[in-house]
Structure 1
């Protein structure tokens, strides 16, 4: 009897040793795509379980900062939003996916060009792998534009015509052009990135917050505020959701992924929204997600298999799009017939080819480790001009100084 029990224990231990669990640390919303991929993964790897640890966007990236610094808690695979790519890449805590045994360079042609560029650090390493993309677009309420007698060409011919259309919309319908004037500036700086620059830095890594691009961005925002064309409310606030839902906000510039968010956030407005390119047929990126392998991972080989499965498997990428409106970074998935189907929420508009075209026209720009710092500094400058009467020049010079100081620490 003891021998039988011993054999059972031995076999049990062997079975346990053969099983494996891969931990994926993720931020909310992207976790939806990861969790949706698990059944597909299990068909290929029945003996490998996936455990997804999810935190809110800010909490996840703060926790990851601590985990990479301390050497524990980051998981086997971790999700990274575009604004943190360079910061975590320079932390020394992530595997360089261009080096052996990963040799990720071989997959470059399969991935949307600008996303590959975003994944590359200034040191030439690639510490994250593109998972989804987020081309910018302009959502608008078709019913409000018709009521105001405004055409989409009037809305988007230029940035000035966008504001002029807003005046007509406000006069004829009472609706605001958008929720917050600062979003015009956010759209403009993304749409007007010049060659050799990233969103906030030049090719040498110096901040460019006092350049004409940023001056014009805040100038446009101030014109919107001075004309009382914005509701002066924050995105993700209850007032913002209520305004979108009740037709008090006529347009919303954002990443294309926001269509999926609206389906859950304001379902009663289905059929009333449409999408169009940003003014002046501008192409911009507004977000984007990546995956990385922390050096502390105990399952690096499996982690790499999961990362490739999630980012380079056509069916997985399409499934992420179905459940989460996450546009595939994988180019072969962008050619699927799914992208030529009408979008019910957008009144049957065939909008996805426009977003794919936009994504493949976005300039490839590298990330910078102080991206999030510069973004916060620019947001603060916007607030000072729009709400505190500070001059554009003074606000941007202060932002430039702040980022320069952090850069030189």
Structure 2
């Protein structure tokens, strides 16, 4: 009887060991993302499983704003944390200083060895004040000017007229409105948004200096507000907010002549915003020789994630695998952060939506010239406050220096509270 019990115990132990090994081998990692980055993750899953059959990947996708609110709450509470967290560049400063993400510069990650593989301006965006690396870049948004060539031709406007200077750009808007009825820009804020991101040097920030002091009352912001107001007074802005139904309809109906944003917007226009305008658009560099980054995405690992080794392997596949980066480029027009992918022949292919233009070559040039600017954990707060003050300048004729002084005071007050 004792021998039988011992044999049964051994058998149970063996079976338990087998099931335990199976359970540990079949690891499920959770990836939290947002549209359209979630499409890149979906494309990656079957490719990744070919070499990692024992890793299941669960994708949780929320709308852009909801995702970042949810991740902010999860980092603060330590609950409902994914293994891989997608972060848009507008939130990277805040999240990198949260203390809730793994420092990928440290072992076992040692991500510093990959620094030179990515566009040079990306890593500083994800680096905390203490020097820790909070996330790895996956795509970037070289700023570009997308314009309706058919409308410009009708108004007798050349690409050089649009890009020579900001003043020439606004003057072109007057001609465009008179000849076609179309607005130059959806919103005057678009001009401000690009201007405050251009002309920066490596190590400078958009809203704050290296010491964390607000710089929103600087000449850069004054000029940005002046240009936005000039466009508004000239009547060449449609007073249309980005990502609204009116914005999409403006593109579809030819009511908006240009849009300055990240290069990825061309993909959005072609797939869902205004596919009916295929062939009418062209891309150019930003006015006045400006080079700026607009958008970009990163992947991070929460410090309390359950499956960090598996998460890191998947992040490396998403960001360091050239074929995967090109796959996302093809599917989403998400310009790759990986330099090796930027040098792929795909860059030289014509884009049908842009009338056969080889626009990716322009965007590659822009990516090489974008400065490595600093981000701050209060950038999103500063952006919100500056936008509110610009609205007062445009709609209530508030004095520009007064508006920027008020913005600076409120930013500093909000920062102190936090």
Same fold, TM-score > 0.5, yes or no: yes
CA contact 1:122–1:366 (8 Å) conserved in 2: no
Contact 2:389 2:404 in 1 (8 A): yes
CA contact (8 A) 1:122 1:367 kept: no
Tell me, what secondary structure is at the counterpart of 1:199? coil
Query: Is 7-16 or 115-124 further displaced after alignment?
Result: 7-16
Q: Which residue of 2 aligns with 1:55?
A: 62
> What is the match of residue 388 of structure 1?
396
Unpaired runs of 5+ residues, structure 1, are none
Whether 1:40 and 2:58 are equivalent positions in the alignment is no
After superposition, the C-alpha distances for 1:64-112 in whole angstroms (9 at most, x for unaligned) are 1111111121200100111211211111110000111111110001111
Task: Give CA-to-partner distance per residue, 1:136-173, whole Å, 9 cap, x none.
Answer: 00000000000000000011100000001111111111
SS, match of residue 407 in structure 1? helix
- Partners of 1:266 and 1:259 in 2: CA distance: 10
Which protein shows a greater Rg? 2
| 1:295 matches 2:303 | yes
Superposed CA deviations along residues 214-253 of structure 1, whole A, max 9, x for unmatched, are: 0100100111110111111111111111111111110000
Q: Which of 213, 218, 227 matches 1:220?
A: 227
Match of 2:96 among 74, 80, 89: 89
Residue 286 of structure 2 is aligned to residue 278 of structure 1: yes
Deviation at 1:389, TM superposition (A): 2.1
Query: Which range moves more in the overlay, 349-358 or 4-13?
Result: 4-13
The answer (yes or no) to whether the contact 1:121–1:366 under 8 Å persists in 2 is: no
For residues 99 and 235 of structure 2, the distance between their equivalents in structure 1, rounded to whole angstroms, comes to: 47
| Residue 364 (structure 2) pairs with residue 364 (structure 1) | no
Number of aligned residue pairs: 409
TM-score norm. by structure 1 comes to: 0.96
Aligned-partner Cα distance in 1 for 2:17–2:134: 40
Residues 1:374 and 2:382 are matched in the alignment? yes
Helix, strand or coil: the match of 2:173?
Answer: helix
Matched residue of 1:191: which SS? coil
**RMSD (Å) for aligned C-alpha atoms:** 1.8
Q: Which runs of 5+ in 2 are unaligned?
A: 1-7
| Counterpart in the other structure of 2:321 | 313
Query: Which of 146, 149, 152 is the matching residue for 1:142?
Result: 149
Matches within 5 A, 1:119-158: 119-158=126-165
Matched, 1:229 2:236: yes
Matches of 1:89 and 1:162, distance apart in 2:
37
2:207 matches 1:207: no
Q: Structure 1 runs of 4+ off > 6 angstroms? A: 3-10
Question: In structure 2, what is the Cα distance between the partners aligned to 1:16 and 1:365?
Answer: 45
Residue of structure 1 equivalent to 2:3: none
In the TM superposition, 1:64-213 aligns within 5 A as: 64-194=71-201, 196-213=203-220
Indicate whether 1:326 and 2:366 are aligned.
Answer: no
Determine the C-alpha separation between the residues in 1 that align with 2:74 and 2:198. Answer: 34
Cα displacement (A) at 1:35: 1.1
- Counterparts in 2 of 1:408 and 1:8: CA distance versus 1, 3 Å: closer
Cα 1:22–1:336, aligned 2, differ >3 Å: closer, same or farther? same
Q: Structure 1: how far apart are the matches of 2:35 and 2:246?
A: 22
Is the 2:283–2:354 contact (alpha carbons within 8 Å) kept by the matching residues of 1?
Answer: yes
- Is contact 2:208–2:376 with CA below 8 Å preserved after alignment? yes
